[in-house]
Copies of this chain bind each other. A is one copy, B any other.
């Protein structure tokens, strides 16, 4: 690194010296205490620890930061921790970070554009070596505008001007497959739940595009009234959208929901209205959260390879952190997905 050796020595030894002076011991002894050496008496250890506490000396963080210009801390920004998809993904990313001896600061943006912007431009960058962010409110142009030297990996949303690496599934293809599966089981009145026209984010738009493509390929004309928008991707939003569909002029015989949570909300409404699933209504979700594996009936869904999303995102981030000059062009990694067919669309799979 470019941090001068002299500076390094002066600053680290100066703070060690402060502690040593306050405790009345040598700098070496302080270092031994900090490193947990057994050669220090209990009495001395206590005295040094008191001095460390009083002076607020943070040996490891300071040393690490000074030595390499790095803290060993990465940020993970997701819309919501309590969303099962993001919770599962966060768990995998934390595991993956541990493997790299990184600590993870998790922030939830609650889908707020200001919060997302602040993370990309703000204070956090001074603690974090890099940031993995799953933007929700911000679209690609916004993300690009707030670009900064902090290494960033985007989950889901593409940055068209190559500001950052991006790791995502092929949303258009996945949505097309999910809809084609409903068509292949003989459904023609297929609704979609989960459009988010109020957001800049492209994920919902891509899933809507895949849905329409599949319908057109099968010679079915998409029906505007069967494309339901939601303000959030929660179960209650899915339940409400499903009720609207059932209360409409013509009820659908199948629903493709853009998230498993929305699909589970739709299932809830279907049960409450006395509909049989899948006989009266077939339901497909997206995300493959654990919840859907145990719902009644179990949920057919698009399953992104979450473990690979976590692994590839942190590999991208590591590459950026260890080659800070950004010589490497931004990567756009497409992660595999597969359609998992369960009882919510196929009768004889109902008790699986």
Which residues of A are interface residues toward B (Cβ below 8 A)? 1-4, 7, 10-11, 14-15, 18, 49, 53-62, 65-66, 68-71, 73, 80-84, 87-88, 90-91, 94-95, 103-108, 110, 123-124, 126-127, 149, 234-235, 239, 264-265, 267-268, 271-272, 290-291, 293-297, 324, 351
Copies in the complex: 2
Asked if B105 and A104 sit within 8 Å, CB to CB, the answer is yes
Shortest beta-carbon contacts, A-B, top 5: A56-B69, A87-B87, A81-B91, A82-B88, A106-B106
Which residue of the partner chain B has the closest CB to A57? B69
From B71, B83, B324, give the contact of A61 (CB < 8 A): B71
Contacting residues, chain B, for A55 (C-beta < 8 A): 2-3, 7, 69
From B60, B265, B294, give the contact of A264 (CB < 8 A): B294
Among A10, A49, A53, A61: residue with most chain B CB under 10 A: A61
From B57, B68, B105, B293, give the contact of A105 (CB < 8 A): B105
Contacting residues, chain B, for A149 (C-beta < 8 A): 49, 53
Which residue of the partner chain B has the closest CB to A107? B94
Asked if A290 and B54 sit within 8 Å, CB to CB, the answer is no
| 21 CB-based A-B contacts, threshold 8 Å | A1-B56, A3-B54, A7-B18, A53-B69, A53-B149, A56-B66, A59-B126, A61-B65, A61-B126, A61-B127, A62-B62, A62-B65, A81-B87, A81-B94, A82-B90, A90-B106, A91-B108, A104-B105, A105-B105, A271-B296, A272-B351
Contacting residues, chain B, for A94 (C-beta < 8 A): 81, 106-108
From B65, B234, B294, give the contact of A265 (CB < 8 A): B294
Contacting residues, chain B, for A14 (C-beta < 8 A): 10-11
